[in-house]
Amino acid sequence: MTIRLAGMKTKAGVVVFSLRTFQFALLTSSSPLMPKVLQILIWIAISALGAGSVAYSALHQGESINALWLVVAGLCSFAVAYRFYSKWLMTKVLVLDSHRAPPAVTHNDGKDFVPTNKWVVFGHHFAAIAGPGPLVGPVLAAQFGYLPGMLWILIGATLGGGVHDAIVMFASIRRGGKSVGQMLKEEVNPLVGFVAMISVLAIMTILLAVLGLVVVKAMAESPWSLFTIAMTIPLALIMGVAHTIFGISVRGVTVFGIIGLLVSVWAGSKLGEWGLQHYFDHGGEWQAKAIMIYGFAASVLPVWMLLAPRDYLSTFMKIGTVAVLALAVIWVAPELHMPKLTKFVDGTGLVFAGTVFPFVFITIACGAISGFHALISSGTTPKLLDNESNIRSVAYGAMVTEMLVALMALVAACALQPGEYFAINAGINKTMAPEQVVGVITSAGFPVTVEGMNKLASDIGEKTMFGRAGGAPTFAVGMAHMFARAFGDGLMAFWYHFAIMFEALFILTTIDAGTRVGRFILQDFLGGIWKPLGNTRNIFANIFASALLVGAWGYFLYQGVVDPLGGINTLWPLFGIANQLLAVIAFCLGTTILIKMGKTRFLAVTVVPLVFLMSATFSAGYIKIFDQDPKMGFIAAANSFKDKIAAGGTPQQIKEWSAQQFNFTVDTVVTGFFLLAVAIIFLGCLREWIKLLSGSKKVVLNEEPYVALPEGAV
């Protein structure tokens, strides 16, 4: 049997050999029985294979390229980065201590601080950080071609994202599970900490409301999604109670949970046949309220009861589905029809406006570097980890696993015909008829027809696929194509709706963990106003802070559902920039920690990604505020609607234009505030770094006192 790799016929056995070599190296690289020379040769082979795959993907000149080149590049990057870079980071830079008791042990309260099995923690952490970002971001960035996204995902995750997540988690564990803002307050100064907490709370509110709206849109189209997600809640409660109260082993509750999840997925697909579909077919307003209630419950209930087991259970669905997708890609070996670079790198994109720099680094966050991860790494996860040596597998390991998810999403999008991709995602769908849309896309060099799009919609059981923007439907179509080619063309509609359900499940796990983390941050802030409100052991303080936070993001979510121009829709354009500004704040903290630890020779691990991310994020922020093109700049867009209002129109038009003018004015002010706040944090940290490095300020490392783990706990 042969498969085609970028125009050259290659024996399938070569690909299998490469994958088996990769697997063999992971299993035996640390084996004392394996000769050192053989280990070195295997890792040299994997490194060469990965570098060669990246180079071929970048230098390839054909019209299409086989997806296996990207898959092999991703697997080899994962293996080499985790085996060598993460080990060096943990042993030489952070110097993890497996004998030191983490806050889950020293602060164990049975509610927020609970020593938890490392694989359950990995499941929670991965489920919490892997929201819509690794699925949606790469799909949208595919308009630039496959190459910019591929390079940013591989380089960003291994050298930036993994470092970002690990160092924040390390710092929080050494400081009793404190948040980023609280740590900046103690390690830098109160002003920087105050600005950081205000900024983080504001950004968190926007992020959670945006994620909530994505879930509502996904579940509104799929009763299957709502049923499956609803069933994970009682399953998680049973698992949590069985393990914590009745002492059932992790293996036992895992088997129960997986079987229950699979039965739920199957039963959800049969709702129509059983006449039960109408019970799970609700409008956006109902679903928004349900998400708010669930977020509140996940924030208040003990972490072992709902949040941790549900995230752990969801991770099996997430990683399992992505693993099957990867196997389908390997089996099908599809060609990527999207060029490595498109004409839209110049900023004239049909999906969104903006040049490849800086916007590919803003569009793809989760899967490369994401500031939201810092909130989880300093929120729920450090309060659960039972040994700080597990930071490597949980923080860095989850990040590079998410890297592979993002790469699969990029492959799924780029394997579609480019014309279909742009017809699904192009913004011109809002103002043009399908016949005009296909004309614009075809004239741009990406042929597509109305008939072809109608057939695609028919194949997957949808009325139309024109204007199904946002990235999620595109990923679902790409995933359905892969599964249909691997398991049978007659199942396209089934796989498409399965993918929609999968995406909704993927995203909701970010909301529950994010709300609980937001409650911790809010209590840190409120504790400075009135100390009892900062007591996380006080159930009334927890309920008050949770209600306040859910009320904030829930308001924007609900208004965004009932008013297409209001609520979170007003702040939607800020999502990417706000998220990456969080990462800048986290790298500022990480750099401060390394200086205080006497690790100045290793500062490049945080300073290089910090400088790069600052340049990209501040450039994007400046462009979004001041660009003269109304399609890009907030001020220009607000002025354009102001001119329309002055010129006159119908009452309905005036109402819509006024709303749009208000939205862009708010976007201008909020973006400016975020940029100013992060600039204050950076300059405050820079001042601290200069003082520490010059010796004008005494180094005070605000770690908790050393407490050894009980004998036999290591």
Residue pair 306/233 in contact by the 8 Å Cβ criterion: yes
- Rounded Cα distance, 588 and 70, in Å: 32
CA distances from 63 to 337, 339, 341, 489 (A): 7, 7, 11, 25
Better-scored residue on pLDDT, 15 or 661 = 661
- Residue 223: what pLDDT? 86
- What is the per-residue DSSP string for 494-563? HHHHHHHHHHHHHHHHHHHHHHHHHHHHHHHHHHTTSGGGG-TT-HHHHHHHHHHHHHHHHHHHHHHHH-
Give per-residue pLDDT as tens, 455-509.
998 888 888 888 887 788 888 899 999 998 888 777 788 888 888 878 777 777 8
CA distances from 521 to 193, 380, 545 (A): 11, 11, 9
Token readout for 642 is 């102001």
Helix, strand or coil for residue 353? coil
CA distances from 535 to 150, 521, 547 (A): 44, 12, 15
Residue 4: enclosing H or E segment and its boundaries? strand 2-5
Helix, strand or coil for residue 596? helix
Give per-residue pLDDT as tens, 512-559.
888 999 999 999 889 888 899 989 889 999 999 999 999 999 999 998
Better-scored residue on pLDDT, 310 or 12 = 310
How many Å from the N-terminal Cα to the C-terminal Cα in the chain?
A: 50
- Residue 646: what pLDDT? 93
pLDDT beyond 90 at 29: no
Query: What is the Rg, in whole angstroms, of the alpha carbon atoms belonging to the chain?
Result: 25
- Rounded Cα distance, 597 and 611, in Å: 21
pLDDT beyond 50 at 243: yes
- Residue 152: what pLDDT? 97
Written as one letter, the residue type at 583 is A
The total of other beta-carbon atoms located within 10 Å of residue 33's CB is 5
**pLDDT-derived band at 392, boundaries 50, 70, 90:** very high
pLDDT beyond 50 at 434: yes
Mean per-residue pLDDT, 5-12: 39
What percentage of the chain exceeds 70 in pLDDT? 93
Residue pair 522/182 in contact by the 8 Å Cβ criterion: no
Mean per-residue pLDDT, 340-359: 93
**pLDDT-derived band at 2, boundaries 50, 70, 90:** very low
Residue pair 208/518 in contact by the 8 Å Cβ criterion: yes
Q: Report the chain's mean pLDDT, rounded to a whole number.
A: 89
**pLDDT-derived band at 668, boundaries 50, 70, 90:** very high
Beta strands in 218-376 (DSSP E): 335-336
Instruction: List the single range of 23-37, 100-114, 137-151, 532-546 with lowest mean pLDDT.
Output: 23-37
What percentage of the chain exceeds 90 in pLDDT? 62
Helix, strand or coil for residue 636? helix
Residue pair 214/507 in contact by the 8 Å Cβ criterion: yes
Residue pair 163/542 in contact by the 8 Å Cβ criterion: no
Mean per-residue pLDDT, 575-604: 95
- Residue 6: what pLDDT? 37
- Residue 259: what pLDDT? 93
pLDDT beyond 50 at 290: yes
Of the candidates 258, 340, 295, the residue with the CA atom closest to the CA atom of residue 509: 295
- Residue 90: what pLDDT? 97
- Rounded Cα distance, 665 and 660, in Å: 9
Better-scored residue on pLDDT, 307 or 338 = 338
Peptide bond into 382 cis (omega under 30): no
**pLDDT-derived band at 26, boundaries 50, 70, 90:** low
- Residue 30: what pLDDT? 53
pLDDT beyond 70 at 18: no
Give per-residue pLDDT as tens, 169-219.
999 999 999 999 999 999 999 999 999 999 999 988 988 988 888 888 777
Of the candidates 128, 51, 472, 480, the residue with the CA atom closest to the CA atom of residue 299: 128
Helix, strand or coil for residue 292? helix
Helix, strand or coil for residue 567? coil
- Residue 10: what pLDDT? 44
pLDDT beyond 50 at 13: no
The total of other beta-carbon atoms located within 10 Å of residue 573's CB is 18
- Residue 130: what pLDDT? 87
For helices 133-141 and 356-363, give the axis angle rounded to 10 degrees. Answer: 160
pLDDT beyond 80 at 98: yes
- Rounded Cα distance, 564 and 535, in Å: 39
Helix, strand or coil for residue 446? coil
CA distances from 600 to 105, 132, 201, 571 (A): 31, 36, 31, 39
